[in-house]
Structure 1
Amino acid sequence: MSNPRPLLLALPLALLALPLAAQQMQMPKQVPGKLDKTRVAAGIYKLDSNHTLIGWRVDHLGFSDYFGVFGDSTGSLTLDPKNPATAKVEVTIPVAKVLTASPGLNAHLLRPGKDGGKPDFFGPSPADARFVSIKVTPGKDLISASILGNLTLNGQTHPVTIAARFKGAGTAPFGGKATVGFQGKANILRSQWGIAAGIPLVSDKVELDISAPFEKQ
């Protein structure tokens, strides 16, 4: 009698592969998002937290850059493509989930201050950061926009301007929601928010790179 063990081992693997195969069969043949303003519908949108990243970059000693990301952000966007200047955006960023490729740097960013002193950067239990738009100025190309808003970080609030650009709109293939995506860039001086450790060896200027899709509610 043949040994049934190989068959018993192969069966669960085959069952696990079925959902993946079905998913692959349903994958769209074209990218669903297009740089087409006519696809944008007016309404209230929710930030797609799973696909939003806020990157940051600082100069280190003039030799290289430190960079990392914030993830799991939440927020909303109110948008009317016929009147883009009325757009409003609010985003909450969980600073405690900051991530770099260096475990040592991650620990440094979130460690408490020495001997009960002030932390070098965020500290072990930092409050969420929050950006709330004040004014949106559309570009002449109607694809770009300047977004002025207040950024609350480390217990302080100061204005920040984001250079935003429409990336694409369409229907998300999984979930079927109307989705719009934007990219944004901004520069801030971290010392304005009371985060001044290491300046000038670690630059005061922080470059922010934002990638954010929103799903219509």
Structure 2
Amino acid sequence: MRIRSAVLALAVALAAAPAFAEPVTYQLDPTHTNVLAQWSHFGFSNPFANFGDVQGTLVYDPDDVAASRVEVVLPMSGLTGFSPKFDEHLRSADFFDAARYPNATFRSTKVEAAGEGRLKVTGELTIKDITRPVVLDVTLNKVGQHPMLKVPAIGFDATATIRRSDFGVGAYAPHVGDEVTLRITTEGSAPKAE
């Protein structure tokens, strides 16, 4: 009788234990993603450039944040400084040399919890075939069912500060600021089940 009671108690405990969520792989949505870079222009203004048409995947594991990861491709064809003349200048050999280096990439190497709804994502940013470590301070905006797509979705914002000269994009420094603030907002969704 004691053995049966112990087995029953164990079965009830296992049934009551919280279910662990499976990690979800999300495809980033380029129409709802902005990767903005901002710097000082001779101290007079602080212009932005946007790396558009971002492609990437994000694996998020809420039960084991360290198992999460992200990989992103930033096509230089989507780079805009919000003016055709400036777009050409940014894509020229003075800066990103887009004809020779058509993509920048980011690949995470470590994801850590950093408080409620916050993560620290360390990774490798590659621009012009130069790779440097970058740390993103991430705010997890929402994880849940997308109301229109009816699939799991995720959204987050992130910031980081880099030195453009570290990536061979240091023309006109220090008059044009070497320090660049990155501001990222993105959302992604899981593919629909077949």
What amino acid is aligned across from residue 171 of structure 2 in structure 1? A
SS of 1:65's partner is coil
User: Could you say which residue in structure 2 is the equivalent of 1:148?
Assistant: 122
| RMSD over aligned Cα atoms | 1.5
Residue 44 of structure 1: how far off its partner (Å): 1.3
User: Could you say which residue in structure 2 is the equivalent of 1:185?
Assistant: 159
Counterpart-to-counterpart distance in 2, 1:56 and 1:163: 15
TM-score (norm 2): 0.83
User: Could you say which residue in structure 2 is the equivalent of 1:4?
Assistant: none
SS of 1:64's partner is coil
**Structure 2 residues not aligned, in runs of 5+:** 1-20
Which of 109, 114, 120 does residue 139 from structure 1 map onto? Answer: 114
- Distance verdict in 2 for CA 1:181–1:124, change over 3 Å: closer
Instruction: String of CA shifts for 1:34-81, please: whole Å, max 9, x gaps.
Output: xxxxxx863211111221110110100111112121111111111111
Number of residues paired by the alignment? 170
SS of 2:39's partner is strand
The reply to whether residue 56 of structure 1 matches residue 37 of structure 2 is yes
User: Could you say which residue in structure 1 is the equivalent of 2:94?
Assistant: 120
Which of 77, 91, 115 does residue 72 from structure 2 map onto? Answer: 91
User: Could you say which residue in structure 1 is the equivalent of 2:18?
Assistant: none
Write out the 4+ residue segments of structure 1 that deviate beyond 4 Å after TM superposition.
Answer: none
User: Could you say which residue in structure 1 is the equivalent of 2:143?
Assistant: 169
Instruction: String of CA shifts for 1:3-62, please: whole Å, max 9, x gaps.
Output: xxxxxxxxxxxxxxxxxxxxxxxxxxxxxxxxxxxxx86321111122111011010011
Task: Give % identity.
Answer: 33
SS of 1:59's partner is coil
TM-score (norm 1): 0.74
Residue 124 of structure 1: how far off its partner (Å): 4.4
Residue 164 of structure 1: how far off its partner (Å): 0.5
Counterpart-to-counterpart distance in 2, 1:195 and 1:99: 15
Q: Is the 8 A contact 2:76 2:91 kept in 1?
A: no
